[in-house]
């Protein structure tokens, strides 16, 4: 959560920082701010405002900032202190010559604040962050340079942090630090300029040569390059920039009104690219080249445990089916935030598969630490090359969805499912659970999905009508069985986060054990009733709802006239092989949630209270 950007080089910093903040706004949109080291010298110039970047733009328009070639910027998702101008980052110390931006939580901030106040520091905000600025100021006052002062300061902080700082005492320099899983610090290498950011997205317009700070690393940048250290003061090992293949154009909205609509529509290409990265049809071959040290474990493990959060957890739930059905391995899923605190019983016999599009979700990273401490081999499914999950895991299966900017995930959901399908196939192959012919059939089936999803996206028949019905509803029940259960959960998640309509995803078999009490003419149900989703059982659920005057929107296979007649409304999906039905079934639900949110006038790319990457617990 929170977006960070820093620039130093030969260009004017302010436009670069403000453009970077717009690229980072999905990280949080409670307030935004920048600080510049003026070319003419003197204290940093700070501008910050509550609200979105547009408010900051207006403030800078009214009161222009001085010319500067070094600066930092921040977009905030509030933790300590309400969204306000005073609580917005950047924060300064008492003397105003140190300025910092921060992502994370200073867990001992109350004690630090009391201690600093006793020593005469005056605080201007209610944030935990401001204590860092005052500590840094003291460390500089005692003769340290900025890098050493940052190291000394970090040693005082409890909790996970990502911090970037400037001081007028060292013009042209910015220092960044990462402790724990508060979020990435990515170093961008430009021509005669250097950048730092919480995300690749903000760096791609300037460079594709990047390095990710590891846990407990510090970096100092000036226009000539970067030097790295660890928190204990030794030179950091192996920090080499790598060239990422992500396309900066994928950061644009293009002709679409929202990133989310663009990303929904990009799913055929994202699926095709992910397929192309992980397998070939002729010959039918899997090319999972990044499994690294995890590869030999595919043969040895006795079970698979898949962890993730939110949409990625729902993808993991589909993956569980794949490991069981294709590889015939016992498989289970767990919410990463629950898993980590349960003292789970596992060891080298369990392959832990984490799913995280960002690779930076704190709960997932903490779960991976627990798994590592237990000796379990790990593979991560991830859309962000170089991110923290890819560094912690023994191996990775990358998805090739391109940048996802909408806070609500869409294309990273479907591509994660494709990657899990590939990993289950590879596991089945090395364990001798699948013949060459079966492998070839599964590969052909997945290869056909981009075109099928593309055809689905050509026509939104019936969705506008359903969205208009849901525009005024208060609650919706989403029911699914088997592989359609994760799709019911994901459909409900999309609906609530985009449209703010209360939506519950439920196992259809559970309906009679409680939720059926809710059914009345004002409480509609979306029933996942594709041909493979235990259709006959779902038919009974629909009958039971209709018998109680409940309204049903059924997601059915094309040509299923019996169900179309039984439900009040139906949206159709093309017939596809059983294991891939989740990929087809989610498409109308993504569009339905989008259209409902649009009809209700919601901010689709930046739903209230949310942030794209969740780096605080």
Give the residues lining the site for ligand AGP (CB under 6 A). 309-312, 356-358, 361, 364, 407-409, 493, 497, 613-614
Min CB(344)–ligand AGP separation in Å: 19
The CB-nearest residue to ligand AGP is 310
d(CA 102, CA 122): 19
d(CA 277, CA 321): 22
**Does the CA dihedral 417-418-419-421 come out positive or negative?**
positive
d(CA 382, CA 360): 10
Min CB(160)–ligand AGP separation in Å: 15
62-65, long-range: CB < 8 A, 24+ apart: 65/14, 65/34, 65/36
Residue 532 contacts residue 578 (beta carbons within 8 Å): yes
Q: Could you give phi then psi for residue 15, rounded to 5 degrees?
A: -65, -35
Is the preceding peptide bond at 90 cis, omega within 30 degrees of 0? yes
Active-site choice (52, 411, 494, 612): 612
167 vs 267, beta carbon nearer ligand AGP: 267
Catalytic site includes residue 612? yes
14 vs 589, beta carbon nearer ligand AGP: 589
DSSP β-bridge partners for residue 222: 225
d(CA 578, CA 478): 20
- Which secondary-structure segment (H or E) carries 504? strand 502-507
357 vs 427, beta carbon nearer ligand AGP: 357
Min CB(454)–ligand AGP separation in Å: 22
Min CB(272)–ligand AGP separation in Å: 21
Min CB(606)–ligand AGP separation in Å: 12
Catalytic site includes residue 411? no
d(CA 574, CA 558): 5
Min CB(416)–ligand AGP separation in Å: 8
Is the preceding peptide bond at 3 cis, omega within 30 degrees of 0? no
Min CB(354)–ligand AGP separation in Å: 8
Query: 579: Cβ–Cβ under 8 A, 6 or more apart, which residues?
Result: 321, 322, 325, 326, 421, 442, 445, 483
314 vs 535, beta carbon nearer ligand AGP: 314
Q: Could you give phi then psi for residue 365, rounded to 5 degrees?
A: -65, -40
Give whole-number Cα distances, 449 to 123, 320, 427, 495, 577, in Å: 57, 20, 21, 24, 10
Active site residues: 2, 612
């Amino acid at each position: 959560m929170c977006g960070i950007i820093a620039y130093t080089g030969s260009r004017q910093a302010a436009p670069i920082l403000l453009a970077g903040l717009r690229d980072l706004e999905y990280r949080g949109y409670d307030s935004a701010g920048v600080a510049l080291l003026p070319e003419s010298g003197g204290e940093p110039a700070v501008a910050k405002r509550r609200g979105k970047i547009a408010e900051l733009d207006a403030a800078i328009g009214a009161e222009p900032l001085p010319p500067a070639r070094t600066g930092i910027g921040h977009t905030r998702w509030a933790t300590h202190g309400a969204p306000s101008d005073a609580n917005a980052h950047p924060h300064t110390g008492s003397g105003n010559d140190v300025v910092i931006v921060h992502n994370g939580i200073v867990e001992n901030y109350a004690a630090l604040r009391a201690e600093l106040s006793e020593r005469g520091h005056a605080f201007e905000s209610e944030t935990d962050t401001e204590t860092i600025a005052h500590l840094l100021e003291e460390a500089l006052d005692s003769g340290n340079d900025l890098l050493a002062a940052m190291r000394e300061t970090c040693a005082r902080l409890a909790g996970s942090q990502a911090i970037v700082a400037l001081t007028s005492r060292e013009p042209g320099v910015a220092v960044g630090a990462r402790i724990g899983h508060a979020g990435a610090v990515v170093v961008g290498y430009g021509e005669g300029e250097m950048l730092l950011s919480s995300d690749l997205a903000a760096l791609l317009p300037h460079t594709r040569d990047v390095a990710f700070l590891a846990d407990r690393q510090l970096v100092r940048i000036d226009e000539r390059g970067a030097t790295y250290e660890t928190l204990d003061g030794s030179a950091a090992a192996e920090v080499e920039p790598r060239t990422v293949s992500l396309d900066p154009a994928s950061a644009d909205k293009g002709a679409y009104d929202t990133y989310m609509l663009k990303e929904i529509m990009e799913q055929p290409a994202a699926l095709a690219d992910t397929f192309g990265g992980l397998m070939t049809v002729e010959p039918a071959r899997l090319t999972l080249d990044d499994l690294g040290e995890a590869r030999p474990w595919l043969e040895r493990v006795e079970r698979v445990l898949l962890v993730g959060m939110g949409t990625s957890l729902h993808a993991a739930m589909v993956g569980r089916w794949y490991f069981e059905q294709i590889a015939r391995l016992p498989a289970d899923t767990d919410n990463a935030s629950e898993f980590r605190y349960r003292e789970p019983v596992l060891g080298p016999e369990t392959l832990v598969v984490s799913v995280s599009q960002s690779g930076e979700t704190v709960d997932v990273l903490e779960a991976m630490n627990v798994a590592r401490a237990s000796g379990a081999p790990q593979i991560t499914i991830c859309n962000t090359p170089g991110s923290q999950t890819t560094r912690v895991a023994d191996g990775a299966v990358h998805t090739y969805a391109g940048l996802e900017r909408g806070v609500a995930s869409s294309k990273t959901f479907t591509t994660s499912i494709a990657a899990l399908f590939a990993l289950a196939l590879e596991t089945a192959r090395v364990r001798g659970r699948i013949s060459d012919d079966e492998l070839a059939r599964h590969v052909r089936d997945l290869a056909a999905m981009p075109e099928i999803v593309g055809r689905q996206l050509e026509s939104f028949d019936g969705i506008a009508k359903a969205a208009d019905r849901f525009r005024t509803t208060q609650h919706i029940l989403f029911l699914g069985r088997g592989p359609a259960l994760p799709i019911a959960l994901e459909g409900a998640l999309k609906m609530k986060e985009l449209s703010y309509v209360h939506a519950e995803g439920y196992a259809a078999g559970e309906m009679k054990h409680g939720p059926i009490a809710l059914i009345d003419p004002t409480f509609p149900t979306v029933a996942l009733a594709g041909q493979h989703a235990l259709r006959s059982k779902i038919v009974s659920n629909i009958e039971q709802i209709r018998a109680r005057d409940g309204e049903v929107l059924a997601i059915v296979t094309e040509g299923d006239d019996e169900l179309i007649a039984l439900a009040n409304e139906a949206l159709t999906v093309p017939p596809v092989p059983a294991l891939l039905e989740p990929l087809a079934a989610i498409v109308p639900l993504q569009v339905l949630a989008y259209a409902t949110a649009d009809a209700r006038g919601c901010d689709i790319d930046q739903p209230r209270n949310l942030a794209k990457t969740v780096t605080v617990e």
